[in-house]
A and B are shown apart, each in its own frame.
Chain A
Amino acid sequence: MELRLTDIACARGGMIVLDGVTFALASGQALMLRGPNGIGKTTLLRVIAGLQPAVSGQIDGADEQIAYAGHADGLKATLTVSENLQFWAKIYGTSGIDDAIAAFDLTMLIDRRAHDLSAGQKRRLGLARLLVTGRRIWALDEPTVSLDAISVGLFADAVRAHCAGGGMVLMATHIDLGLQADTLDLTPYKAAAAVETDFDEAFL
């Protein structure tokens, strides 16, 4: 069981941003994606999650395995913390949101509406969703934004536990989580400025 990317090129807004990205991620491994703003970390994660197609190259082992968490948390403001989590548990066909709630210290907030949570609490709820998906591979885009030091610790613990259970974590982040994780700097894969000949993207 591994996630393997072979020679992936991906585009944002019709411009190819990354070219020739190749790496493999084995069970229990965590990988940090690094690189300056605009290098294409988010684009690469969206390609891996299946939200947009790669321009070229091949991805193996990603089908129905990815739990994606982007910049937005996907919370419904008028639903409570437990209703939000229960919805995702039902969508993924898993049961029990208690572990996720305990792991991100949301017990006190369980009946609070998501609208009334602080930015950091919302993010914790968004990350707790990963635990209820039951998916093997987490693809996370800047997961620690607006988290305080204690919450970052909780998150690091969750990542460690997920990897210990045979899961994989792929994460674009700028901070050091203190994890035993490999780092992949995307700068060498930066594509030469080339305009895609396929014109229909320009209209979208």
Chain B
Amino acid sequence: MIALLLRDVRLAIRAGGGFGLSLMFFLILVNLVPFGVGPNNELLSRIAPGILWLGALLACLLSLDRILALDYEDGSLDLLATAPIPLEGVVTMKALAHWITTGLPLTLAAPTLGVLLNLPGSAYGWLAISLLIGTPALSIIGTFGASLTVGLKRGGLLLSLLVLPLYVPTLIYGGEVVRRGAEGASTQTALMMLGGITAGCMALIPFAAAAAIRVGLR
């Protein structure tokens, strides 16, 4: 299974893999917001937590359709399904590889981009922590969406429609952690909810996604 993880990360980093696209998208999106809402520092710092979380979420969405579609097209998914490693393990490793190549870079870049939105000083740490805890859920829910649309031509749009509603709880609690952090209030409840969502997704979704792939391959 480690071999699969290494292969997916390597494929993402090599030319044409789309590594860095999500990060650039995030960077551009966050840059565009001040142009759109105008140079109002107070307004920007108030909407910064939401914008940063929404930006990270959309950037994550951008690369979801590559998780399984490429493997389906070139036949690797058939071969992985007949290989000795369980499909649940395949799904988990693919989600992990997606997180390493999108969620992790987004988490690391987000505090830098907070400066552009005049994010209050006390919120930087909470922004990084909430993204670190929340983005794995984005990757694994996205993998579930990708497994539902496996085998569909141009399933990317449908995938977005399926996955975005499922991202709502993570977005709410993720944004809430940063907002409370910015105000200096207690973040404990929101952070625990965020962690709970991620842990629940990691525990349950691999089974659902593997079942969806089995149906999709028929």
Query: Cβ of B84 and Cβ of A74 under 8 Å apart?
Result: no
In the complex, A76 has a CB within 8 A of chain B = yes
Query: Cβ of A204 and Cβ of B78 under 8 Å apart?
Result: no
Q: Which of A60-88 contact B (CB under 8 A)?
A: 64, 66-79, 83, 87-88
Query: Cβ of B218 and Cβ of A91 under 8 Å apart?
Result: no
Query: Cβ of B75 and Cβ of A70 under 8 Å apart?
Result: yes
Query: Cβ of B85 and Cβ of A91 under 8 Å apart?
Result: yes
Q: Which residues of B contact A49 (CB under 8 A)?
A: 78, 82
Nearest CB on B from A79, distance (A)? 7
**Interface secondary structure of A, over-half rule:** loop
In the complex, B83 has a CB within 8 A of chain A = yes
**Could you say which of B7, B15, B75 contacts A87, with CB atoms under 8 Å apart?**
B7
Q: How far, in angstroms, from A49 to B7 measured CA to CA in the complex?
A: 24
**Could you say which of A76, A90, A93 contacts B11, with CB atoms under 8 Å apart?**
A76
In the complex, A194 has a CB within 8 A of chain B = no
Q: Which residues of A contact B81 (CB under 8 A)?
A: 50-51
In the complex, A52 has a CB within 8 A of chain B = yes
In the complex, A23 has a CB within 8 A of chain B = no
Q: Mark B2-21, 1 if CB is under 8 A from A, else 0.
A: 11100100110011110000
**Could you say which of A76, A129, A204 contacts B74, with CB atoms under 8 Å apart?**
A76
Query: Cβ of A78 and Cβ of B15 under 8 Å apart?
Result: yes
**Chain B: CB-nearest residue to A113:** B14
Query: Cβ of B74 and Cβ of A74 under 8 Å apart?
Result: yes
Point out which of B73, B76, B80 has the most chain A C-beta atoms below 10 A from its C-beta: B76
Query: Cβ of B3 and Cβ of A91 under 8 Å apart?
Result: yes
Q: Which of A87-111 contact B (CB under 8 A)?
A: 87-88, 90-93
Query: Cβ of A79 and Cβ of B10 under 8 Å apart?
Result: yes
Q: Which residues of B contact A88 (CB under 8 A)?
A: 79, 83
Q: Which residues of A contact B3 (CB under 8 A)?
A: 87, 90-91
Task: Report the 8 A-B pairs with minimum CB-CB distance, sorted nearest first.
Answer: A72-B75, A90-B3, A74-B75, A74-B76, A52-B218, A78-B14, A74-B79, A68-B82
- Which residues in B have some Cβ–Cβ distance to A below 8 Å? 2-4, 7, 10-11, 14-17, 73-76, 78-85, 215-218
